[in-house]
Every structure is written in C-alpha cells, then in structure tokens.
A and B are shown apart, each in its own frame.
Chain A
Amino acid sequence: MGDASTEHSHGHHMDPAVEYSSSKLGMWLFLGTEILLFGGLFAAYAIFRAKYPEMFFEQHVELNKKMGAVNTCILIFSSLTMAMGVSAIQRGKQKVTAILILITILCGLGFGVVKYFEYSAKFHHHIYPDTSIFFSLYFLMTGLHMLHVFIGLTILSVLFVLTLKGKFTAKYSTPVEVGGLYWHLVDLIWIYLFPLLYLIG
C-alpha cells in the first residue's frame, strides 16, 4: 500500500471511472451556480414585471418575435447536434463527432449573427439599455447570455480541434461530455429568456 499510494499521491493517476464521474459532477455543480447567476436577473425581472405590467407589455412589442423564435430553434438544434456528438464519441466515431461539433459551432455563430442584427435594429431605433427598466433587463439578460454563447463557442472550438487531433476516444470522452453539458446550459437559459422577453402575451 505504502509505495503505491506515495507514487499516486499527486492525483494525476486517479481511477478513470472516478475521474469521469467527478468531472461531470463538478460541471453540474458549476451549472448550478450559473443558474443562480441568472437567477438574480430573473428575480429582478419578476419584480419589475409585477410592478409595471403595462410597460413590459408595451415595450416588448419592439422586440422581433420572429428573430427570437428563429434563434430558439437554432439553439435547440445546436443542442441536439451536440448531444449527438457526445453519443458519437462514446461510440468512438471521431470524424462524426468532429462534424457534429462543427455544426454546433456554426449554429452558435448563426445565433450570434441574428442577435447582432437584433441589437443593431434596437440601436437604430434609439433603444439602449438605459431606455427603460424593460430594456435594461433585456440587454443585461441577453447580453450575459451572449457572453455564455461566446464562452461556449470557445470551448467547442477547442473540442473540435482536439477531436480532429484524435485526443478523444470511446474510452476517454470526458471533455466532450463536460463541454456538451455547458453548451446545453446555454440552450436551457435561452429557453426561458425567449418567452419571458419576447412573448409577453
């Protein structure tokens, strides 16, 4: 016991199964903190919407429902391709995984392009974050979300390159899975932002 444990005391040679499950668990924990980061904004949204329902209703009309809906579809589709990428690498199909991650990245970029047009349309109509509480929340919530999209795209690009280099196999797919979890969170947040901001009845 003595020799083996000193040799392994640096933690570089953890049991692969333990490493795998604790990596994922760690990611879930982080995702929990992410939900609470957005939670503060959701709480602010709830209060101001309850206080000023007319203002929220009048101003949400300025938002482009079609663009919002298109972006929702793009993100859900990208979540699907990411999930397919994860199952592909679990079966050891590196090329398929690389293609699926690439599609996911392209969808993420597409989301960014649509959002860029939305933001510039708002600025064109002289709508800025200081226009009203509604638009403050709109820019802050979608902006923080957009930041997550960019971080997600960075992670996905790294995963794409490493997959092409053949770093991941059926036996070692942890980074792809953990990166995938992050990308799904980006989708999850948007699933709530879309109806709350764009679809005020």
Chain B
Amino acid sequence: MVMTAITVYVSYINFGMLNIVIALVIASIKASIVALYFMHLKLEDSITWVFALFPLLLLALLIGMTITDTFTRTIVP
C-alpha cells in the first residue's frame, strides 16, 4: 500500500519516457512480494518456479514479437 502511494505520487511528476518504466518497476516489485510471500512461491519447489516463470517468458515473447512486427513493417505502395 505504501508502494501504491509512491506510484500515484510519482505519476504526477514528469520524467518523460521514464514514467512508464518507474510505474512498471514499482508494479513488478509489488507483484513479486505478492507471489513470493502471499503465494508462498519462496517456499515452493523448483518445478513450481518453472510453472510460474515460463508464462512470463511466453508473455515477453508475445508482446516483444508483436511490437517488433508492428513497428518494422513497411507499407508496400
């Protein structure tokens, strides 16, 4: 909740492109705390870690590939 206060506060300051990076870093710290402690990932065995992290890799692929595709297309006249 402290983190939420920080994100809201930070969003009022203009860092240009950095804003989104800061917002996502704070979100990821919050998400890691939820996963590690609330969801007990810290105490889980390695196969659970694989099950938890592999979708993130797929997510990165999904978003990364779609972006590289969309922004490297040249329109054929």
Contacts and interface: CB of A to CB of B under 8 A. Distances in A.
A180 B31 CA distance: 15
Contact of A77 (B1, B14, B37, B71): B1
Prevailing SS type, chain A contact patch: helix
The main secondary structure of chain B at its interface with chain A is: helix
Contacts of B40: 86
B37 A43 contact: no
B11 A199 contact: yes
Contact of B31 (A36, A69, A181, A188): A188
Contacts of A113: none
Interface of B: 1, 4-5, 7-8, 11, 13-16, 19-20, 23-24, 26-27, 30-31, 34-35, 37-40, 44-45, 47-48, 51-52, 54-56, 58-59, 62-63, 66-67, 70-71
A181 B39 CA distance: 6
Interface of A: 21, 24-25, 28-29, 31-33, 35-36, 39-40, 42-43, 46-47, 50-51, 65, 69, 72-73, 76-77, 79-80, 82-83, 86, 180-181, 184, 187-188, 191-192, 194-196, 198-201
Contact of A39 (B8, B58, B70): B58
Contacts of A46: 63, 66-67
A164 to B, nearest CB: 23
Nearest to A40: B62
Contacts of B31: 188, 191-192
Given A80-B38, A199-B11, A25 B27 contact: no
B35 to A, nearest CB: 7
Contacts of A187: 34, 38
